[in-house]
Amino acid sequence: MGSIAKSNMKNKTLIENIPALVEDAKYDPAAFSQLYNHYVQPVYRYLYSRVGTTHDAEDLTSQTFMAAFEYLPRYRERGQFAAWLFRIARSKMTDHFRRNRFDVDLEAVQRFVGEDDALFQVIQNEEISRLTCLIKNLNFEEQDLIHLRYVAELTFAEIADLLGRREEAVKKSLYRLLARLKGQME
């Protein structure tokens, strides 16, 4: 079995065991480190896409996991652990914006997740700029929905739990938003 297949199998096993791992983490910091390792990249990508600087994203990611570690003993399994964790991340981000009062340039996302191929950048630059402009003009909730799904890579169930909405409503909102953006791009 290849290393990618082993990694995917290990990741699937971890995801299936998140509730048990969360319970273990309440009493064992080593178990929390497994949760940290599993969620640190999605949380960081989400925060980076929202705040636009490495320093702030790292700081907010750190604050998120410190708060999660601190509040974990009081966590009760009522939904998705990821939703609870991203709720903390959103709270930290909101506090950050409240303190700093600035807008995020979504082109920071392009720099973070952009292609290394220079030709690809040249060809896609105009479309990316147009899409970035369209996304900037969305309201906060619509932008957040895009960031949670495509940057943080949360499932619809996790987003629904985080936002306190039904999964089908989240899917419908996202698909309508994407259709609207596609229409505007055409």
Angle of CA points 134, 139, 144, to nearest 5°: 90
Average pLDDT score over the chain: 80
What is the number of structural domains in the chain?
1
Ranges of the chain whose pLDDT falls below 70:
1-16, 79, 101-125
Q: Are 26 and 68 in contact (CB under 8 A)?
A: no
Q: What is the pLDDT of residue 110?
A: 52
Q: 0.75 exceeded by the pTM?
A: no
Question: What is the structure's pLDDT at 74?
Answer: 86
**What range defines the domain where residue 133 resides?**
3-185
Integer Cα distance of 88 and 74 in angstroms = 14
In the chain, what is the greatest distance between 2 CA atoms, to the nearest angstrom?
54
User: What does the pLDDT read at residue 167?
Assistant: 93
> Could you report the per-residue pLDDT of 108-159, keeping only the tens digit for each?
545 544 445 555 555 566 777 777 788 888 998 999 898 898 888 889 999 9
Per the CB < 8 A criterion, the answer to whether 38 and 158 are in contact is: no
| Selection from 61, 55, 56 nearest residue 43 by Cα | 61
- If phi > 0 it is left, if psi is from -120 to 50 it is alpha, else beta; for residue 114 that is beta
- pLDDT at residue 118, as a whole number: 56
Q: Give the pLDDT of residue 37.
A: 93
Residue 160 maps to which CATH number? 1.10.1740.10
